[in-house]
């Protein structure tokens, strides 16, 4: 029912994508998720994230031009891991830390070159 408003002419696409990401996290039991889209003549752009931590991680990937999402984009291959450190193994610009806001391991933005 909450997606019914998408049937009108001028619905908010970004709002729809954000809702879908949040619903996906809840449905799949994930910690967080984000959506990046690529236009025909441009680099990937962040369009939705399930929470602030996911948004930060996605933006760090774009800023540093590396990370698991961009690896998937460049190789056209899916990536899956239960351990975030494995997904970031080829990302030397960011050191790992555990943020106090979250129990998930994430790259520390202060260490990104």
- pLDDT tens digit string along 31-53? 888 999 998 988 899 999 999 98
Q: How far is CA 68 from CA 6, 13, 62, 89, in A?
A: 31, 25, 11, 9
Say if residue 28's pLDDT is above 80. yes
Say if residue 5's pLDDT is above 50. yes
Say if residues 17 and 6 touch (Cβ distance below 8 Å).
no
Q: How many domains does the chain have?
A: 1
Beta-bridge mates of residue 106:
97
pTM: 0.68
Listed ranges 2-16, 21-35, 97-111; the one with the highest mean pLDDT: 21-35
Q: In three state form, how does the secondary structure of 43-97 look?
A: CEEEEEECCHHHHHHHHHHHHHCCCHHHHHHHHCCCCCCCCHHHHCCCCCCCCEE
Ranges 17-26, 70-79, 81-90, 103-112: which has the least confidence: 103-112
DSSP conformational letter for 5: G
Is 38 in a helix, a strand, or coil? strand
Nearest CA among 100, 53, 54, 104 for reference residue 83: 104
Q: Which domain holds residue 84?
A: 4-111
């Amino acid at each position: 029912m909450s997606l019914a408003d998408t049937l009108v002419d001028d619905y908010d696409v970004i709002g729809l994508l954000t809702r879908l990401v949040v619903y996906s996290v809840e449905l799949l039991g994930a910690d967080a998720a984000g959506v990046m889209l690529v236009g025909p003549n441009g680099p990937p752009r962040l369009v939705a994230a399930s929470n602030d931590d996911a948004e930060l991680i996605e933006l760090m990937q774009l800023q540093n031009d590396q990370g698991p999402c961009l690896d998937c984009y460049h190789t056209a291959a899916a990536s899956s891991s239960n351990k975030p450190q494995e997904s970031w193994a080829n990302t030397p610009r960011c050191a790992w830390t555990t943020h106090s806001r979250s129990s998930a391991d994430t790259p520390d933005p202060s260490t990104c070159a």
